[in-house]
Structure 1
């Protein structure tokens, strides 16, 4: 059996990792340039759709990606949604804010509800994106993320607004890469241009995994006879 040249293997692996790093850096530079070029176009679009009644509530409901997140009790709140905007960091394409602007409403006092994506170091020292918490100032008795569960429900009712305190960035990245750029197409084509099918499946899979983990951590107690 031929002797393995470990030094050669290590050298090749180092070259692969170096090229991967260069590729990643190049992709980030391209993303920054794309953001710079697209922002004025999105601002022009923003002025146009501001004149369309209920544009953003309509687009959200047309998007398959949000079908697993928006509950019936969220709809009256989302009726007050007047704008959705992606604010990119000018120096790092991995960092951004997704800003949801609301008109005055009976649910919370925030004018803006923000999903902020930042980057931190993981256990291996690698950059890891995560969603930072955001505090929604709910008015008394209006907090949709803290509804009392019914007797026949295993967990508290979900709400679209729980997402603003979730570290998961999959939906945030989908909004930035697909939903926000294609919002006008989703609206004009009745949702046919939505790219949310795969995203919806991913979200459902994640919810199933979370439920399985919760059941493992907190097994149901047997009822007493």
Structure 2
């Protein structure tokens, strides 16, 4: 039989060793140790090691896991059948978009009288009746409620109102004189809308604003679809101005809704085929899309100096009407810069068609600005996106000291829908 003292020592020794191990090497819930983390961090701080890891991960993107290749032939055969069904579904989806476009053409005629009436009110050619203005206003109701509460709680204010009657009568004559100076319609309606929308205001330069003040309406005309080809044209209506002689500037978009034969499963809806602007007939010295710069040139032999005037491109919203040409042919690859310009151009055109024209007054008042930056034809998810410091981007936007970066740009210039 073992000695009790010996047994006691035997029982406690392992516990003492274990205590020492836990104290010298902290183990996390996932089994990782502090020493292990330090070694990992040292490796990740090595630029060569980090570059090798990134290169390896990059080569793995889109790589098959090997599971499909390992399947029996009979299963692969069934997968082919599913792909053929998927292709048939894609063709139905393409036809769906064509039918939607036909509905847009049909309903455009129903919207037209409402938009015509809107233009008349905006330009001041028609004054809305009392019945047409009968629409509840939250601000007016709040003001009336505050006014009633003030009168009930303080009768002295009512007495003061009576005292002011004489002063109001004196000002009445001045008010009637100023009535003739009151603007007609809704001044700067479309310019205000453009400046309210971030997607557009970043392209509007200071020298564009006086021109856009003369923009009286924007309308959309849908092209009747022929087979899978469809499109729409934006019409920008201008009143007579000192900048160009055009009364209407146009931007035409042509789309196609059929899967690519070489990659049918990449189909996600109608895609832009081309877009075409129009020629702006600028009056002399009024073209804001170009600017003249002067350079001094020195003659090498004679040593004389002369001043040369050169015309260069100037940032302006009106480059929107002069997009890059889309090269003909299916095998032609677009330059990355040109493709980016065309992508940006179509996003703007689609946004104007889908949102700005149908909901103009809500963009004028700002009520439609909450979700206006997300095009209806494509939703981008940014969950988990972080900035370089690892902070969530939304936190930056909520910071009162946060200032968005980015300079004004020039619209150029058709993205897949």
Contact 2:221/2:234 (CA < 8 Å) preserved in 1?
yes
Distance 1:144 1:101 in 2: 18
Rg (Cα) greater in structure: 2
After superposition, the C-alpha distances for 1:200-222 in whole angstroms (9 at most, x for unaligned) are: xx9x7xx7xx9xxxxxxxxxxxx
TM (norm. structure 2) is 0.42
- Aligned match of 2:316: 159
Residue 72 (structure 1) shift: 0.8
In structure 1, stretches of 5+ residues that fail to align are: 211-225
| Paired residues, number | 198
Q: Which has the higher contact order (CA 8 A, sep 6+)?
A: 1
Distance 2:256 2:282 in 1: 29
Contact 1:101/1:113 (CA < 8 Å) preserved in 2?
yes
Q: CA RMSD in A?
A: 3.2
- Aligned match of 1:110: 246
Distance 1:145 1:3 in 2: 63
After superposition, the C-alpha distances for 1:46-102 in whole angstroms (9 at most, x for unaligned) are: 213422233222222222221111111100101111111011113368401100011
For residues 53-132 of structure 1, the aligned pairs below 5 Å read 53-54=186-187, 55-91=189-225, 94-119=230-255, 128-132=272-276
Contact 1:50/1:83 (CA < 8 Å) preserved in 2?
no
After superposition, the C-alpha distances for 1:154-204 in whole angstroms (9 at most, x for unaligned) are: x943211101112521111111111111112222xx2231343346xx9x7
Contact 1:115/1:134 (CA < 8 Å) preserved in 2?
yes
Contact 1:71/1:158 (CA < 8 Å) preserved in 2?
yes
Worse-matched range after superposition: 104-113 or 60-69 = 60-69
Distance 1:149 1:11 in 2: 65
Worse-matched range after superposition: 47-56 or 12-21 = 47-56
Distance 2:274 2:251 in 1: 10
Is the counterpart of residue 25 in structure 1 residue 182 in structure 2? no
Contact 2:199/2:373 (CA < 8 Å) preserved in 1?
yes
SS of residue in 2 equivalent to 1:114: strand
Aligned to 1:191, which of 366, 371, 390? 366
- Aligned match of 2:114: 44
In structure 2, stretches of 5+ residues that fail to align are: 1-69, 123-185, 263-270, 296-311, 325-341, 381-405, 413-417
- Aligned match of 2:153: none
- Aligned match of 1:16: 86
In 2 relative to 1, CA 46–16 (structure 1 residues): closer, same or farther, beyond 3 Å? Answer: same
